[in-house]
Amino acid sequence: MKRTRKKHNPAFKAKVALAAIKGDRTVAELASAFGVHPNQIYNWKKQLLDGATSVFEGGGVTAEGTTSEAQVDLLYRQIGQLKVENDFLARKLGK
């Protein structure tokens, strides 16, 4: 029987890593409580500590990403509108 890997979402990983950083319970206790391997908790904790500096660097990165997504959405709407207009005019001129 083949086992499939569990895919944990980032919120779960952050919750487990923060619990490990707090140090209230041992990693073995956390592993049994959350149902993951202790090595995975150590990896998530290391990733969280390594990536913590990026939170404070360039605070506008997330706002920049949302702005670009909104701009892309607007451009796709404009492209769709222009395509409809172009097809309409092509049909009218073709007749």
pLDDT > 90? residue 64: no
**Separation of alpha carbons 92 and 95, rounded Å:** 6
For the record, the structure tokens of 63 come out as 């706002």
For the record, the structure tokens of 16 come out as 């487990």
CB of 20 within 8 A of CB of 30?
yes
For the record, the structure tokens of 19 come out as 């619990």
Q: pLDDT, tens digit, for every residue of 25-54?
A: 999 999 999 999 999 999 999 999 998 888
Helices (H), the chain: 10-22, 27-34, 38-56, 61-94
Greater confidence (66 vs 12) lies with: 12
| Whole-model pTM over 0.85 | no
pLDDT > 60? residue 62: no
**Separation of alpha carbons 5 and 36, rounded Å:** 11
